[in-house]
Structures are given as C-alpha cells and as structure tokens.
Amino acid sequence: MTNTAKNYLIQENKVQAPEIQTVEDKISNTLEFIYYDAKKETSRYLEDTKVEAGGE
Amino acid sequence: MKKRIVGLETEYAIRYSSLISEKQDNRVLYDLIIKIIPSFVKIADGTSILKWKQIFLENGSAFCYESLPHHIDSGLLEAATPECTSTLELILYQRSIDKLLQQTLEKLNQNQSRLFSKSTISLIKNCKDAYNNIYGAQENYSGVIAKGAFLFLYRLFLIFYLPLLAVYIFFVFIASFFILFFQSVLMIFFYIFYLIYITWFRERNHKFNNYEVFFYPNHKSFFYQFERLSGIVLTFTEIILSFPLIVPYVFILKYFTFRDYKKHLLAFIVTRILFTGSGSINNRGEFYLSEKAMFTKRISRTSNFPADRCIYDPGNLMKLTYLSVLSFFRFEFHYLKELFNNVQRFQIGMSDSCMCQVSELLKVGPLYILMDMIDEGFLKETPQIRFPIKTLKTINQYPNFRTFKIEIKNYKKLKLPSSLTALEIQFWYLNQAKEYLKQKTILDPEYHLIVKEWEQTLNLLKEEPEKLFGKIDWITKRILINQTLMKEKNLKSNNVLDIDGITKEDYIKHYELLKVIDIKYHDLYEGYYYELEKANLTKRFFSEQEIEYAIKNPPKSSELAKIRSSIIKRMQQSYENIKISWNYVKIGSGAISKIIQLEDFKKRRIDT
C-alpha cells in the first residue's frame, strides 16, 4: 500500500490516522488498507507472479 | 556429537509488473537485484558448479539463480542462510535476508533504468503461484546419516556406485557435446536462412519486418523458443538416461539413511502444518493450511523428476555424490571426503516459506529439540501413522484438522487411543519434549522459549485460533481473506478476526480478488504481511537493530560462517582471484588454483 493510498483513505474518513488508533482500530484499518489495495490489483498481478516451473 | 547445524534455503519468485513492457527474462531481473546488493553489504563469487551465478554475502549467507533447463528464463532467486547452531539465530538470519532483499528492491524500484521505467520488480516469498507451480523452502539439519550395519552397507554401496556414476557422467558429457553441436549447427542454419529471408522478402511480408521478433529475448523470439526446446530435450534425455542409475541410489537413500529421524519425526512433520502452513486457496473454493502439503506425493524421493515432491528430500546427498565425481575429474577430492562423513545434511522438502516469525520458529525449533531427543535415545517409540500422505492431504484441507481422527499403528505400545486428531499428536510430542527438558535438566533458555511458544500455540489452536492472527501464517491469511469477502459483500462483521462463516461459493465467486491477497501477502515490496508488521500486529522476536546487525555480521554460533565472513570482508583489499564455498575457498583458477578448507583456516589461525 502506497502512502498516497493511505492518505486518501484517511482524508476520506474511511480510516483513522495511525497515531489515534486502538488495537482493534489498527486491525480494522489495516484490513481496510489491504482490501482497498487488493481491489486495485487485477489478474495481471497473478500473471506477473507466475513462475512457470519451480526450481528446488 | 557436536551441536547440530541448521540452515534454511528459500526460493523467492521474481515479479515483474509493467504497464508498458512485456514479461522480462528472470536472469536479467536477478542480475539487476544482485548488482544492487554490494551497495549494502560486501559480496564474493561462489565456486559451486551446480549453483548458477552464486554469490556469498559478508554475513555468511548465499544467493543464486535457480531454474530448470527448459524454463531457464523464469527461474527463482534462492537464498541460503549461514549455518547456525541456534534456531533463534537462524530465524534472525532468515529475517536479515528478507530485510536485505527488501532494501534492495526499494533502491532498485527507485532508480530504474530507461529499459525498466514504469515497472516494479519484486520478490515473493511463498511456495506456490496462482497456477500451481511449486517451489519454496527447504530445511537442513545436520544429523548422523546411519549407524552400524546400515552405515557399513551405505558406504559399501557408494564404493561400487561411484565408478559407475563416473562412467555415466563421461558418456553424458560426450552425448551433451553432440547435442550442443547439433543445436549450434541448427542455429547457424536458421540464422543464415532468416537473414536471406528478411533481405529478399522483407518488403513483401510486413508481418516479419521487425528484427526484435527474432533477436530480442522475449517470449515470442525464435531464440527463446529454441532455447526452451533445447532445454526440454536435454532435461528429458538426462532423466531417461540416468533413470537406471538413480533408482537403486534413491532406494538406498530411502531405506539406509537417517532411519531413526524419518521414523520418529514423520507424525510430527505431517501434523506440524497446523502452525507452519502459510495457507492457500484454490479455484474450487477450498482453503488449505499448507502450500507444500497440497502437492506432496510421497514420504521420500523415488526419482530425480523435479515434480517428485516429498517430505524427506535426499536431493542434497544426490547432488553431493554427483559433485564428488565431477570434482574427481578435476583432481579435487574434498567433496568425496565430505560424502563419506558420518554426519550429513538431513533435508526436509515439505516446508512452507513462513512470513510470521512464530510460524518460522516453530518450523525449526521443535524439530531441532526432537532430533536431539532421538540422538540421545529419549524418543524410542513414537506414534506411527497408518496412511501418512493420505492423512496429510486430509488434515491440510480446512477445517478437517479439528475433527479428523488419524489412525495410529502402534497405539497399544504407546497406551494411546487407536486414533488421534492432529492436535492430539502435537500435544503428545510437546509433552515428550517437556519431559525431556525436565529429566535432562536442560537450562538453555532457547529450548524453554521454543517449548513455551509451542504449547501456547497448540492451546490457542484448540480454543481460540483467531488469537494467532499475526503469529501463524495460515490463520492470518484466512482472516485477511474472510474480511475482504465481508467488505466485498458489504456485510458488517462483529468480530474483525472471524475465522469462519464464509461459504465455498463466496470463495469461488471472488476467487481472483482473494488470490491476489493470497499471493501479495508474501510480496517483499509493499506486501500485506509487512503492512501488518508496520501496524505492529505481528509478533516479533528481534528488533530492527538486531536484524540490521545480522545483515553485515556472521552468526555468533557458527565458526565456519565467521571464517567465511572474515575472508569476504578482507577480500576487498586482495587482488587474488578468490572464490568462496560453504566449506572451502578456491584461490586462483585452472591448473594453479589452490583449495583451502575453512576448517584449516581455523586451525592455522589465519582468521583474525
């Protein structure tokens, strides 16, 4: 998650700034960040992480 | 026996995301990453014949490029920790490698050349991509390879086997020479043909008016396809030709080596996925605890096929045997000497790459203690699972581990019920370890920390698994996935750590989004695990300062790593051609090269 995305979420009042969070808030807000970020990614991310053949 | 040496090998998938260009050759991306590393630490070239582009770092760890011959462009970055005799220290060094790679990626992505502008290069520390390709981690523990008659027969077999292998390698070299010669002739023929074609017919056919289609190393190029085809031919020729030679060897390795460890640790390793699994979903809406367990086919390797996934992997011994013969041709005998050592690397292939430090500690810590218990004859009778692989597959699928009863063959001897759950088997091993610490009055705080973490984790798995969020990977990932689904469906969740309540149909419907979370959780550059770490939602054993120190300094518990590190640090002032290995250094090249064992450096007190 980029700082721009985080600032956007804070500005939009979707989450609270880190310094005023409780533990529950922290979990909830981090999950919100992750959800927001994952929504931006597409199947291209899965394609980009394709290995084709594992080594080992 | 000396204190046990332990080490981790981790394969990182290379990610290249770009809005403007196509997928790049991973060899190029690996080189870009490696070029940045000297701006953080001192490095030296490795000597290994089998490890391509290997480098050693000043803390004693190593990186190399790992690939299969027919997918040489889509290989992985493999990192190996320095050898440690403390499991806590081992976790610290694994973290230091992750941290160094993170710093490298940040620098690389900030200062990209024109060729890679508007793109992101990253590494994924997991074991399975979205297309079910498997790679990942391996664990290595030093242990007694065999005792008594089994050791004698194993060595006797080697004495007869090595000359046969030497003859085989000689003929493979000749065959490879002819195959490569044939390939080169074909390449030259196609090259001349193509030059004639584009010179005479280029204007008529606009489809082939771009030289790059032919020469540029992308997936459409002729060279790329030719290289891949050659790789397939070479790989399968090698596998088929070596099959009659490999089968008796894997049989000997399976039945003659590490017998006690294999027997007494199997039930533990099958059920430890409860806390070592990194979690994975598939497109059928199923959630699995362990990525590696999904594709594990047998207990021990039975062939040299790359897809022969197993729990105990003697691949390292096979490589050592191969190296012994190769080095023999070069009049170097150190590998041969190493092959006949009584203490060898016991390698666990079914090992997930862990992000959570608790998962990683519990991956190596309890096993380390159990191996000590086996060596000392404390564990003479352990639960023997009737169908180990079938059991592994069953408990791996969530939520079977809670209720599935595992049949125990020797339950009467152990005075146990005829079947136990995976958690009950883990509690059995835990109680044995606690008894061992008590009876042997072991005061080492590390052992007590491991047992305490193990006990706490098992108790929470039984009662409140959601409290292991940030400590155990599969639980953390499952909660991230479930919460994403709740948000996607606009549902309000009363419990932010809800581990259940999602249906298979939901998983299938939103598979792509959830799979992104599954994979990006392991991304070293802007990955989700590190988001949790930044928010202080994970349990950590080490401070940032300790990790930074470990990036530049060898482990205190390893003499060999200290010597290796000392040589790498001093090499910067040397003009000699020096190459490093795990056990020796090679000075000079060709006929005038000299090999010095690291142990000898210690004896000669060259190390400062």
Q: Which of A35, A45, A48 to mutate to test the interface with B (most CBs of B within 10 A)?
A: A48
Does B298 score more than 80 pLDDT? yes
Backbone angles phi, psi at B65, to 5 degrees: -100, 125
Q: Which residues of B494-511 are buried (b: 16+ CB within 10 A; e: fewer)?
A: eebbebeebeeebbeebb
CB proximity under 8 Å: B 499-528 to A: 512-513, 515-517, 519-520, 526, 528
Ranges B137-141, B333-337, B441-445, most confident: B137-141
**Beta carbons of B243 and B128 less than 8 angstroms apart:** no
Which chain A residues are closer than 8 Å to B17 by Cβ? 44-45, 48
Using the structure block, give the residue that is written with the tokens 């598939």: B282
Distance CA B564, CA B583 (A): 9
- The answer to whether the CB atoms of A55 and B531 lie below 8 A apart is no
The dihedral region occupied by A39, where left means phi > 0, alpha psi between -120 and 50, and beta the remainder, is: alpha
Residue A52: both structure tokens together: 């084709």
How crowded is the C-beta side of B412, counted as CA atoms within 13 Å?
0
Sorting pLDDT into bands at 50, 70 and 90, what band is B238?
confident
Those residues whose C-beta lies under 8 Å from the C-beta of residue B510, and which sit 6 or more positions away, are: B484, B485, B488
User: Which of B18-22, B169-173, B492-496 is predicted with the least confidence, judged by mean pLDDT?
Assistant: B492-496
CB proximity under 8 Å: B 396-435 to A: none
Q: What local confidence, expressed as pLDDT, does residue B503 receive?
A: 79
Distance CA B249, CA B302 (A): 9
Give pTM, 2 decimals: 0.89
Radius of gyration of chain A (CA): 15
Tell me which residue of B253, B349, B363, B251 sits closest to B295, measured CA to CA: B349
Using the structure block, give the residue that is written with the tokens 């170097």: B332
Residue B577: both structure tokens together: 């051609």
Question: ∠ at Cα B304 (B303, B309), nearest 5°?
Answer: 75
Asked if B256 is an interface residue toward chain A (Cβ–Cβ < 8 A), one would say no
Q: Say which residue, B486 or B345, is predicted with more confidence.
A: B345
CB proximity under 8 Å: B 524-553 to A: 526, 528, 531-532, 535-537
Sorting pLDDT into bands at 50, 70 and 90, what band is B220?
low
Distance CA B10, CA B93 (A): 12
Which chain A residues are closer than 8 Å to B467 by Cβ? none
Task: For A1-56, write each residue's pLDDT tens digit.
Answer: 445 555 555 555 555 565 556 677 788 888 889 998 999 887 789 989 988 765 44
User: Which of B128-132, B139-143, B212-216, B383-387 is predicted with the least confidence, judged by mean pLDDT?
Assistant: B212-216
Tell me which residue of B58, B6, B3, B63 sits closest to B32, measured CA to CA: B63
DSSP assigned state of B127: S
Task: For B269-296, write each residue's pLDDT tens digit.
Answer: 999 999 999 999 998 999 999 999 999 9
Q: What local confidence, expressed as pLDDT, does residue B191 receive?
A: 75
- Taking the CA of residue B585 and the nearest CA in chain A, the distance in Å comes to 25
Q: What local confidence, expressed as pLDDT, does residue A19 receive?
A: 57
What is the mean predicted confidence (pLDDT) over B483-509? 80
Q: Which residues of B340-366 are buried (b: 16+ CB within 10 A; e: fewer)?
A: eeeebbbbbbbbbbbbbbbbbbbbbbb
DSSP assigned state of B490: T
Cross-strand partners of B228: none
What is the mean predicted confidence (pLDDT) over B294-313? 88
Q: What local confidence, expressed as pLDDT, does residue B208 receive?
A: 45
Percentages helix, strand, coil for chain A (3-state, rounded to 5) are 65, 0, 35
**Distance set, CA B419 to CA B193, B268, B391, B407, B411 (Å):** 69, 15, 12, 4, 8
User: Which of B61-75, B270-284, B578-592 is predicted with the least confidence, judged by mean pLDDT?
Assistant: B578-592
